[in-house]
Structure 1
């Protein structure tokens, strides 16, 4: 199975980050969300808080 890493930072656009994750997972790919912020919780421009699967330092 292919593995995809979705890198996320504070201020991301909801649709630009979450739609690809949803579509790829529905397609059967393993998607790992990665925070490049140094902390697991990443906040979008609209205030949606997402807990990343892994920190960049540990990916």
Structure 2
């Protein structure tokens, strides 16, 4: 389970890091432009939450 917890933590850090990423070349962020500067990617947060849930399911009681 330590590996799952580490994966969940890494996913959360990665999701938070998307707020500082440069301009996107594809997807919605590519045509929305500067309005989303400093906003984290919601899809990345959704995936991070999946990792957190899976880690919690397999955590020792």
Structure 2 length as normaliser, TM-score?
A: 0.33
Q: Higher strand proportion, which one?
A: 1
Q: Of the two, which has the highest radius of gyration? A: 2
Q: Which has the higher contact order (CA 8 A, sep 6+)?
A: 2
